[in-house]
Amino acid sequence: MAKIINKRFIIPVLILFAIVFPFVTQNDYFIHVMTLSFIWMIGVYGLNLLAGYTGYLSLAHAGFFAVGAYSLGLLTVKAQMNFWLAFVLALIITSVLGFLIGLIALRTKEHFFAIYTLCVGYILYLIIDKWDSLTEGVRGLIGIPAPGNIGPISFETPLSQYYLVLAILLVVILIIYRIVHSLTGRTYIAIRNSEDLAQTIGISTMKNKLEVFVLSTFFAGLSGALYASFIRFIGPDIGNIVITFDLLTYLLIGGIGTLSGPIVGTVLVVWISQQLQFLQDYRMLIFGPILTLLVIFYPRGIAGSIAGWNVKRAEKKIAKAQQDERFSQSPISAENQVKEG
C-alpha cells in the first residue's frame, strides 16, 4: 500500500511541482538556480551510473563535463555552427573521447582506476587551460549562444530555458530508470558486487564496463553542453577537479547507487549553498566534513538511508505477521534490491 503511494503518487507530484515552480516563485534568480541544479543533476546521474551502480569511481568527470561545454562553445563561437548541430556534435565528441579513454582506463581497477581517471581529468583540464589558441585559455570563451529555436519555440528567456533543461532532465531520468531496471542494469550491479563472480557467470565485464563508461561520459558531456549554453561563458575552471568533487558531494549526500539520490542531493546542496552565499569560498569547510561523516555513518546518503528504513520497517511487519510460523525470510524483493543497490 505504502509502496503504491510512493511510486504512483510522488513522481507525478514532483514533476508537477517542477513544472509549476517558475509560476510559484516568479523570481528569476530562483529559476536560474533551479535550472542550474537540473543541469548538474544530469552530470550527477552520469557519475552515479558509473560509481554508484558499477562501482568504478571516476574522478575525470569534470574533464568530460568541460569537454562537452568547450566542444559546444568552440563549435558555435569559433566555427559559427548551427546550435543544435553543434550540440549533437559536442555529445558525440565527448562520447567518442569517453570511449577511447575508457578502453584504456577500464583495464585498471579500484585504486588504479581512481588515480588513472584523476590524472586523465587533470590532463583534460591542463589542455584546456594551456591551449590558448584554441580555447582562449584563462580568458575563457565568451558569447556562447543560447539554445537555437526548435520550430517556433525559442529559448531566449530564462523560463523557456528552464523548461528545456527540465524536459531533457526528465528524459535522462527515464533513460537511467530503464537502464537500471533492465538486465543491463543488473549486470552493472553484478560487476560492482563482484567482478570475478560476474565474469564467472558469463558476463563480458569489459564490454559492459565500457558501455557504462561511455554512457556516463555522455551524460557528463550533455550536462556540460547545457551548462555552456545556459551560462554562456565558460572558463577552464569548469574542468577543474573541484567540479568532480562537487558532483561527488551531490551524489553522496543524495545517495550513491540510488535512483532518487542525485535529485535529492543536488537540489539540497545547491539550495543550501545559495543560502550560504557568503560562505561561497568556504563552503567546503562544511561540505568536506559532511562528505566524510556521511561515508562513515550513512554511506548510502539520504535516499539510500530512507529506503533502508522502509525495508527495515517492512521487515518488522512481515516478521510480526509470520511470528507464528517462525519463518523469517528476506523481504527484500528483487525490485528493491535494484533500487537501493
Partner 1 sequence: MEILVQQLFNGLTIGSVYALVALGLTLVYGILHIPNFAHGALYMMGGYITLMMMVQYGLHYWLAILVSVIVVGLIGVLMERLVFYPLRHAPPIHDKIAAIGILLFLEAFAQFIWGADYQTMPTPYGQVVQLFGLTFTMQRLLIIIAAIAVMVLLYLFLKKTFTGASIIAMSQDRDGANLVGINTNRVAMLTFLISGGLAAIASSLAAPINLVFPGMGQLVILKAFVIIILGGMGSIPGAIIGGYILGFSESLGATYISNDYKDIIAFILLVVILSVKPTGLFAKGGH
Which positions lie near partner 1, rule CB under 8 A? Answer: 51, 55, 57, 104-105, 107-112, 114-116, 118-120, 122-123, 126-127, 130, 241, 245, 248, 252, 281-285, 287-292, 295-296, 299
Give the residue with the Cβ less far from partner 1, 161 or 244: 244
Judged by CB, which is closer to partner 1: 146, or 291? 291
CA distances from 299 to 22, 323, 330 (A): 34, 31, 22
**Min. distance of Cβ 194 from partner 1 in angstroms?**
11
Q: How far apart are CA 103 and CA 33, in angstroms?
A: 36
Cα distance between residue 304 and residue 255, in whole Å: 5
- Residue with smaller CB distance to partner 1, 127 or 175: 127
Buried b / exposed e along 238-258 (16+ C-beta atoms within 10 A): bbbbebbbbbbbbbbbbbbbb
From the centroid of its chain, how far is CA 19?
Answer: 21
Which amino acid is located at 332 in the chain? I
Collapse the DSSP code of 79 into the 3-class scheme (helix H, G, I; strand E, B; otherwise coil) and give the result. Answer: coil
Q: How far is the CB of 182 from partner 1 (least distance, A)?
A: 23
Give 118 or 175: the residue with its C-beta nearer to partner 1. Answer: 118
Identity of the residue, 76 or 216, whose beta carbon is nearer to partner 1 in the bound complex: 216
Is the CB of 120 or the CB of 222 nearer to partner 1?
Answer: 120
What is the nearest approach in angstroms of partner 1 to the Cβ of residue 305?
15
> Of 228 and 256, which CB lies nearer to partner 1 in the complex structure?
256
> CA–CA distance from 140 to each of 6, 94, 129, 209, 228 (Å)?
45, 19, 9, 34, 11
Closer residue to partner 1 in complex, CB, 169/252: 252
Least Å from the CB of residue 251 to partner 1 = 9
Least gap, CB of 272 to partner 1 (angstroms): 15
**How many residues appear in the chain?**
341
d(CA 29, CA 218): 29
For 223, the enclosing helix (H) or strand (E) is: helix 205-231
Give the span between the Cα atoms of 253 and 295, in whole angstroms: 9
Instruction: Output the smallest distance, CB 123 to partner 1, in A.
Output: 5
C-alpha cell at 152: 517556433
CB of 332 to partner 1, least distance (A): 19
* Distance from chain centroid for Cα 96: 19
Residue 55 CB, shortest distance to partner 1, in Å, is 7
* Phi and psi at residue 315, to the nearest 5°: -60, -45
Separation CA 109–CA 113 (nearest Å):
5
